């Protein structure tokens, strides 16, 4: 059924950064669909958001690495809404054996296994490309489609190559390389869609206190979804093909 209300789908949205992004978008009056591998966890997250004042939120059983789930999601969106306005590719994993608490940093490049590389890229890159390609026909029907790819500052080759950079000694190779590849996807897709109203950007949420970020992270979880929300709701004259953290452009 057609609706004027914006429709957003967020992967990995039952907790952490995905849930905070859903909260931010939902409080702007956007109808949010939470992608969650376990339906029950998604339903609990949706119930919590409703208690917090998010009026329109639904849970969708969704595993980002399952192509059948991509197809089922596209069919659901087609049947219920006829389009998709916002796609937030939030789901991601970090499988490197890296210790962020080491004062002298770490580098997993010579020790990371091929299995870890494949699993990391399957979730953080290949699944994102596949899902976006599947949903793009629905996003093209939106008057102002927005695609947000959850990257990381650790994917910046410029900063990783600079000995003076604060991240220079933090090198989780599989994770970092997957985010660098994701940034390339952002640049390429934005260029392909440059003559449309669709905007595609990479988001660095910051180092946030999540299961992945750990308790030593300086940013609270409530701050972690802000960059994604900003990029998901850009005005018509907003940027595309960029790499941002809280409104500031990051170097590739």
Active-site hit among 6, 179, 209, 226:
179
Instruction: Find all residues with CB under 8 Å of 2, minimum gap 6, and list them.
Output: 81, 82
Residues 52 and 115: their CA atoms lie apart, in Å, by 40
Q: How confident is the model at residue 17 (pLDDT cuts 50, 70, 90)?
A: very high
By the 8 A CB rule, do 30 and 52 touch?
no
pLDDT tens, residue by residue, 59-97: 999 999 999 999 999 999 999 999 999 999 999 999 998
From the candidates 175, 209, 226, 243, give the one annotated as an active-site residue. 175
User: Which tokens belong to 3?
Assistant: 């609706």
Q: Domains of the chain, with CATH numbers?
A: 7-249 (3.40.50.720)
Query: Rounded to a whole number, what is the largest CA-CA distance in the chain?
Result: 56
Residue 251 CA: distances (Å) to CA of 40, 162, 169, 244, 246: 39, 11, 17, 9, 14
For position 2, what pLDDT does the model report?
Answer: 60
Chain CA centroid to CA 84, Å:
16
Q: Return the half-sphere exposure (C-beta side, CA atoms, 13 A cut-off) of residue 120.
A: 21
Q: Is residue 11 a contact partner of residue 131, using CB atoms and an 8 Å limit? A: yes
pLDDT of 209: 46
CA distance 70 to 250: 30
pLDDT, tens digit (0-9, with 9 covering 90-100), for 85-128: 999 999 999 999 877 667 788 999 999 999 999 999 999 999 99
pLDDT digits (tens, 9 = 90+) for 180-237: 999 999 999 999 999 999 999 999 997 654 555 555 555 566 777 999 999 999 999 9
Provide the whole-model pTM: 0.94
Q: Give the chain's end-to-end CA distance (angstroms, integer).
A: 41
243 is an active site residue: no
Q: What is the C-alpha to C-alpha distance for residues 164 and 155, in angstroms, rounded to an integer?
A: 16
Q: Is 179 a catalytic residue?
A: yes
**Mean predicted lDDT score pLDDT of the chain:** 93
């Amino acid at each position: 059924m057609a609706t004027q209300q914006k429709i957003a789908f967020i992967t990995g949205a039952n907790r952490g950064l995905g849930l905070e992004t859903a909260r931010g978008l939902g409080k702007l009056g956007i109808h949010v669909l939470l992608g969650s591998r376990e339906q029950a966890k998604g339903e609990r997250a949706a119930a919590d958001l409703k208690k917090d004042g998010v009026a329109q939120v639904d849970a969708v059983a969704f595993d980002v690495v399952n192509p059948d789930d991509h197809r089922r999601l596209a069919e659901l969106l087609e049947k219920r809404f006829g389009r998709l306005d916002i796609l937030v590719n939030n789901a991601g994993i970090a499988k490197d054996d890296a210790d962020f608490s080491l004062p002298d940093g770490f580098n997993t490049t010579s020790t990371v296994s091929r299995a870890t590389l494949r699993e990391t890229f399957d979730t953080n890159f290949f699944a994102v490309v596949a899902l976006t390609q599947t949903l793009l026909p629905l996003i093209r029907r939106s008057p102002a489609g927005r695609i947000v790819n959850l990257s990381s500052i650790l994917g910046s080759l410029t900063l990783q190559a600079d000995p003076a950079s604060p991240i220079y000694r933090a090198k989780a190779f599989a994770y970092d390389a997957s985010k660098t590849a994701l940034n390339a996807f952002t640049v390429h897709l934005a260029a392909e869609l440059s003559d449309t109203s669709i905007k595609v950007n990479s988001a660095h949420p910051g180092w946030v206190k999540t299961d992945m970020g750990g308790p030593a992270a300086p940013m609270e979880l409530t701050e972690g979804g802000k960059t994604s929300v900003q990029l998901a709701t850009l005005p018509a004259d907003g940027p595309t093909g960029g790499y941002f953290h809280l409104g500031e452009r990051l170097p590739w």
